[in-house]
Structure 1
Amino acid sequence: MRTTLAWGALTGLWTGTALAADDAGAAWARGYCERVRGTSHAEAALELAPELFASIGAVNAGDAMGGGDETPLGKPRLRLTAGLGYDFVGLYRGRALHSRAEAECRRQQALAALQGAVEQGSRLGEASALEARARALATSLPRAETLVTALREELRDGGTTLEELNAVQVRLDHLRALARDTEQARARIALGPGQPEGQDLGALLTAFEAADDQVEALSGGLRRARAWRLAVRGGYDEVFDVAQDVPLFGQLTLGFNLGALWQGRANAQAREGRRQETRDAVDGTPRRVRQLLGELRITAQAEQARLGEVSALVSDLEGQLREVERLETRQVRRFRDYLLLELARLQAEQAYLGAHLKTLQALLQGVKS
C-alpha cells in the first residue's frame, strides 16, 4: 500500500512540474515573438502610411517694382501649403521590418531550444528513457510484491526459510529504490526548460544560424533602403493677395544618398562578422551545443555497447526461466524467484537504454561525425 501511494505521489509531482515547465517555456516564446512583432508593426506603420504636412510663412511675390538690381521681386505675401506625401521606398522598408521580426522570432525559438538542450547537458534525452524504465517497473513491481507476499505466507507455514525471504526482499527493495529514483529524476528534469526530445540538434543549430543570418541580411537591406527616396507630394498651395488660377500643386521627387556607394562592402563585413561572432563566441550557445553534441555521441556509443550486453543477459535469463519453470522442486522455485526479480531489473535497464539510445540517435541524426 505504501509503495502504491508513494508511486502515485511521485507520478503526480512529475506531471505537475512537467506541465509547469512546458507552460513557462511556451509563454516565454510567445512573449518574445509578440514583442518583436509589435515593435515591427509600430515601426512599419510609419513607413507604410502617407505623410500629412502643412506649412505657413511669408514669401516674396508679385511683379518687380522698378528695373534696378536692388529692387526686390515683390512685397512679402502670406503663403499656406498643405497636402499629402508618400515615399514609395517605405513599402519595401515596412515589409522588410515585418520579415526581420519573423526571422528574429524563429532565431529566438531555435535558440531557446538549444539553450534548453545545453542546460540539460548529459541528461538530454533522458525524459523518454526514464518514462520507458518507469513503465517497465510499473509492470514488474506488482508481480514482485505478490511474490514476496506469497513467500511470507510460506514462511509462516514452514515452506521457506527466513534467509530465502530476506534475499528476495533485498531484490524487491532494489526495484523499489530504482522506481523512486526514476520518478525523482523525471521530476527534476521537468523543473528545467523544455528539452528538444526527438528533434535533430544539428537541424536546430542550422535553423538558428540561418535565421540569425537572415536578421543581419534584412538589417543591411534596411540600411541600403535609407539611401533612396521616391516620393510624391501634392495638395493645396496658396499665396494670399496673388492671383492664382488653381491653388494646387503636385511633385515627384527621386533622391539618392551617395553614401550608399560605400555601403555594400560595409554591409558584407557586418554580415560575415556576425556569422563569426555567432559561431565562435566562447560563451555562445552554438559553441556549447557543438561541445554537447560530441559528448552525446560518446554517450550513444557507450550505451549502444551496454544495450547489447543487457539484451544478451535478458535473453539468457528468459531462457533459464523457461527451463526452470518445467521443474517443481522448492529449491528450483526459489531460484526462479531470484531470476524473476533480476530479470525485472535488467528489463528496466534495457527499456531505459533502448529509449535513451533512440532519442540520442534522433538528436544526432543530422550531425556529421
Structure 2
Amino acid sequence: MRTSLARGALLGLGLWAGMAPAAEEAGTVRARGDLAKGYCERVRGTAKAEAALELAPEVFASVGAVNAGDAASGSDDSPLGSPKLRVTAGLGYDFVGLYRGRTLRSRAEAECRRYQALAALQSAVEQGPRLGEAAALDARARALATSLPRAEELVAQLRDDLRDGGATLEELNAVQVRLDHLRSLARATAQARERLALEPALPEGQTLSTLLSAFEAADDQVEVLSGGLRTSDAWRLSVRGGYDEVFDVDQSTPLFGQLTLGYNLGQLWQGRANAQAREGRRLESRDAVDGAPRRVRQLLGELRIAEQSEQQRLGEVSALVSDLQGQLREVEQLQTRQVRRFRDYLLLELARLQAEQAYLGAHLETLRTLLGGAGP
C-alpha cells in the first residue's frame, strides 16, 4: 500500500512540478522561434545599403580635351582653335534621393511588420483546431496532478480490502480500469504539451482578426511606398558644383555650379497604374488559394464552430460534475461496503470529468480571446 501511495504521490507531484520546466522550455523554444528575425534583418540591411547611395552626395571627376579657341580669330582650318586639356571635379547631389532613401527604409519596416504578422498567421494555420490549446492542457494537467494521488490511494486501499476479504476481484478490476484511464490521460496531456512547446506561439493578447488586419495594413503600406518610389523616378532636382579648368585658357574663377530640375512626362499616367497595382495586390493577398489570409479566414470559421461545440459540452460536463458531487456528499455519510465501493467509482469518474471540465473552460477562454469575443 505504501508503495502504491508513494507512486501515486510522485506521479501527481511530477505532473505538477513538471509544468514549470515545460513552460520554461516552451518559452525558450518560442524565443528561438522568432521566424521573422532573419527576414527583418535582411530587408533592413538591404534598405540601408540602397538608401546609403540615395542619401549620400556624388563625387565626380573628368579629364578630356575641348575646343576652347576664339572663333573670331581662328583660322579657316580650325575655327574654334586647337583642343585644350580640361579637368573637372566636384560634388553632385540629387535632392529626390532624400525622399527615396527615407522611403526605402520605411518600406523595409513595413515589410518586416508584414512578415511578422504573416509568420504568426501561418503558425496559427499550421496548428489548426489545436490553436490555443496550451492553457487548456495546463489546466488539465493541474486537475490530474490533484486527483491522481487520491486515485492511487483508493486502488491501494481496495487491494488491502481484497486480501482481507472485504472486496471482490471484480470491484478491484473496475477501479483499476478507471485509474488506468486517468493515467493514460495524464500521459497524453504531457506529450501534447511537449509537442506544443516546439511550435511558435501567437503574440499574447492578439486576436486572429487583429493579426490579419495587421498583415493587410502592412502589405498595403508596402505597395503604397513602392508606388511612391516608382513615382519618384520621374523627378530630378540636382545640384552640381566644383572645379572646372581648361588649360592654356584665361579663366578668372575656374569654378562652376548648376541646378537642374527634371520631370518625366510619363508620370502623368503613373497615378492610375499605381492605383491598379495597389488594388491588385490587395485582391491577390486576400484571395490567393495557398495564402495565409484565406486559410486564416477558414480557420476562424472552424474555431467558431469549435467554440459553440465546446460551450455545449462544458455545460453538460459541469452539470455532471455538480450531480456527482451531490451524490458523493450523500454517500460519504454512509459506511457500508457497497456504498464505499460506489463512492470509489464516483471519485474516479469525478476526477475524469473535472479534468475535462478544466480543459474545456481554459480552452474556451483562449478561443474567445483569439476570436475577439467576450465570454458569457
Contact 1:88/1:229 (CA < 8 Å) preserved in 2?
yes
The equivalent residue for 1:213 is: 220
Contact 1:197/1:359 (CA < 8 Å) preserved in 2?
no
1:201 maps to amino acid: L
Q: Which moved more, 1:271-280 or 1:69-78?
A: 69-78
Change (3 A) 1:197 1:234: closer
The equivalent residue for 1:351 is: 358
1:78-108, Cα deviation, whole Å (9 max, x unpaired): 1101011111111110010010000000000
The equivalent residue for 2:81 is: 74
Distance 2:228 2:221 in 1: 10
1:149 maps to amino acid: A
2:132 maps to amino acid: G
Q: What does 1:1-369 align with in structure 2 at a 5 Å threshold?
A: 4=10, 18-19=26-27, 21-26=29-34, 28-66=35-73, 72-195=79-202, 199-365=206-372
Contact 2:19/2:138 (CA < 8 Å) preserved in 1?
no
- Find the residue that maps to 1:84 and give its secondary structure: strand
Q: Which moved more, 1:119-128 or 1:340-349?
A: 119-128
Contact 2:48/2:105 (CA < 8 Å) preserved in 1?
yes
1:288-310, Cα deviation, whole Å (9 max, x unpaired): 11111111111110101000110
Residue 13 of structure 1 and its aligned partner are, at CA, apart by: 9.2
Distance 1:2 1:10 in 2: 16
Unaligned 5+ runs, structure 2:
1-5
1:138-184, Cα deviation, whole Å (9 max, x unpaired): 11111111221222222223332222222111111110011111112
Contact 1:234/1:249 (CA < 8 Å) preserved in 2?
yes
Residue 191 of structure 1 and its aligned partner are, at CA, apart by: 3.1
1:233 maps to amino acid: R
1:24-48, Cα deviation, whole Å (9 max, x unpaired): 421x321111001000000000001
Distance 1:64 1:249 in 2: 23
1:50 maps to amino acid: P
Contact 2:114/2:219 (CA < 8 Å) preserved in 1?
yes
Distance 2:179 2:290 in 1: 46
1:324 maps to amino acid: V
- Find the residue that maps to 1:221 and give its secondary structure: helix
Distance 2:203 2:95 in 1: 44
Change (3 A) 1:42 1:366: farther
Unaligned 5+ runs, structure 1:
none
Change (3 A) 1:34 1:349: same
Aligned residues: 366
Distance 1:77 1:196 in 2: 70
Change (3 A) 1:223 1:366: farther
Length-normalised TM-score, structure 2:
0.91
Q: Which moved more, 1:346-355 or 1:63-72?
A: 63-72
Contact 1:125/1:197 (CA < 8 Å) preserved in 2?
no
Percent identity, please. Answer: 77
- Find the residue that maps to 1:236 and give its secondary structure: strand
Q: Which moved more, 1:349-358 or 1:63-72?
A: 63-72
Contact 2:30/2:199 (CA < 8 Å) preserved in 1?
no
Change (3 A) 1:5 1:338: closer
